[in-house]
Each structure stands twice: as structure tokens, then as C-alpha cells.
Amino acid sequence: MTHNVKTLQEIIDKGRRIVFFGGAGVSTESGIPDFRSADGLYNQKYAYPPEVILSDTFFYSKPEEFFKFYREKMIFPNARPNAAHKKLFELEQAGKLRGIVTQNIDGLHRMAGNRLVYELHGTIYENTCLNCGRKYGLDAIMNSEGVPRCECGGVIKPDVVLYGESLDKYTIMGACREISQADVLIVAGTSLAVQPAASFIDYFGGRELVVINPDATSADERATLVIRGRVGEAMEKIVVR
């Protein structure tokens, strides 16, 4: 890893338009479990796999069960940005990082201070009444029981993209524009199993594709550098200059 981090440092030093593409693995070092690691949600016992519970059909047919899982497994109000989030903020401040494209809904990149964030799957911090459109914060979900309701009686739905729903078109356009204009793309903490998000990295035509993941991914063969390790540990060693 040390040797590889040295190469990552050189790539970042030369980079002028760095884009970071991440997934749930970026937040495991903040204490939020991912889906597909050994201790991820797929390997815990539930009546249904996560992508069934987190689907639009499940939301509308079994909202109580949806919110039970969602509150227990998707909301971590005490999680804080880790070394990876913090280094990306430094890189944005230095004008080297042009965007973060994330599949995460935990809001940690924004909490770290980053502005150029494309949250492909939305955020737990924004919620909308399905009846009147009134907006709510995370409190409305956390401080309620069962199915959260608006004052008007409507169901409050998190602004997260459920399996079966479409991604926001302007978020897709922004994310794909940044990826296509990048000279360095760092793909970290994602199994690249969720579509269409994973396919967006195909728009990259720049020099250096870096993959950071303890496990093998489908992007490894295209990468100029593969770091088999934790993204927080790797990014922590990077000096922004």
C-alpha cells in the first residue's frame, strides 16, 4: 500500500481536474455499514435483501416495514466525515477536485464541507410529503414512529432514489459532465454493482483511473493504479499541494 500511495500522490500532484466516484465503502470508516462487504447488510439476516426493502414497490406496499429498516440501517445521525471525506474537502479547496459523484445518501461529503457533490441517490437529510410537497429535514423521520406523516396527513418520503426509481436528470448530467472532463478519476468504495450509477464511470476518457477497494472490482483491469486497501487510510497519507 505504501508504494501505491506514493503513486497516488504523484497522480494527484499532476491532476488538474480530479473527480472522485464513490460508494458505501467510503463511509464504512465512519461506522456506516455497506451492503456487499463481509459484514455488510447482505450478510446479515433479514426477511428480504436490502434492494427489495429499499425498492419503490416495497415502499408503497409495506411502508411500516420499509421505515423500520430505513431508520435502523440507513440513518446514522452520529456518523462524521472520515479521513477520506476530509482530504476530498482539502482537494476541493485547493481547486484540484472538480467533483464528487457519490452513490451514498449519508450526506457526509457535504458535512465535510464539499460543495461540488453529485448525490446520485439523494440524501437522508431531505424528505418530501407525497401529498402537498412540503419539505422536511431528517428530524421528521427520526422523531416519528411507524410511517411519518405530514401535517396534511400525507406520507413523508425520503428524497432518496429507491430501487426501481429514476435518478434525477440534472444530477446525472452534472455528474457525467464532470467525469467526462476529468483528467483523473478515483473510483473508491463501490462494488460497481448498482446501475445506472456504475456505468457513469464509462464516460471517463482521462489519463489516470485509480481504484481504491479492499476487494477486486470490474474497473480494475482499466485502472492505471489499483490500491487494495481502505480509502480513508490511503487518502489520509496524501499531501495536498
Catalytic residue check, 109: no
Cα–Cα distances in angstroms (integers) from residue 57 to residues 143, 187, 189, in the given order:
25, 30, 28
Site for Zn ion in 144-173 (CB under 5 A): 150, 152, 154
53 near ligand NAD (CB under 6 A): no
State the nearest-atom distance from the C-beta of 132 to Zn ion, in Å: 3
- Nearest to ligand NAD of 23, 206 (CB atom): 23
Q: How many residues does the chain have?
A: 241
129 near ligand NAD (CB under 6 A): no
- Nearest to ligand NAD of 43, 61 (CB atom): 43
190 binds, among Zn ion, ligand NAD, none (CB under 5 to 8 A by kind): ligand NAD
Sequence-separated (6 or more) residues with CB below 8 Å from residue 127: 135, 136, 137, 138, 140, 141, 148, 156, 157, 158, 159
| SS3 assignment for 163-215 | ECCCCCHHHHHHHHHHHHHCCEEEEECCCCCCCCHHHHHHHCCCCEEEEECCC
35 near ligand NAD (CB under 6 A): yes
185 closest CA partner among 200, 196, 170, 172: 200
State the nearest-atom distance from the C-beta of 156 to Zn ion, in Å: 8
Phi, psi (deg, nearest 5) at residue 22: -130, 170
| Pairing mode, strands 122-129 and 97-102 | unpaired
Pick from 91, 96, 106, 200 the residue near ligand NAD by CB under 6 A.
106
142 near Zn ion (CB under 5 A): no
Q: How many residues bind ligand NAD (CB under 6 A)?
A: 30
187 near ligand NAD (CB under 6 A): no
Task: Check: CB of residue 233 under 8 Å from CB of residue 4.
Answer: no
123 near ligand NAD (CB under 6 A): no
87 binds, among ligand NAD, Zn ion, none (CB under 5 to 8 A by kind): none
Pick from 8, 12, 18, 24 the residue near ligand NAD by CB under 6 A.
24
**C-alpha cell of residue 181:** 472532463
**C-alpha cell of residue 78:** 452520529
What residues are annotated to the active site? 121
For ligand NAD, the binding residues (CB under 6 A) are: 23-25, 27-29, 32, 34-37, 40, 103-106, 121, 188-191, 193-194, 212-215, 230-232
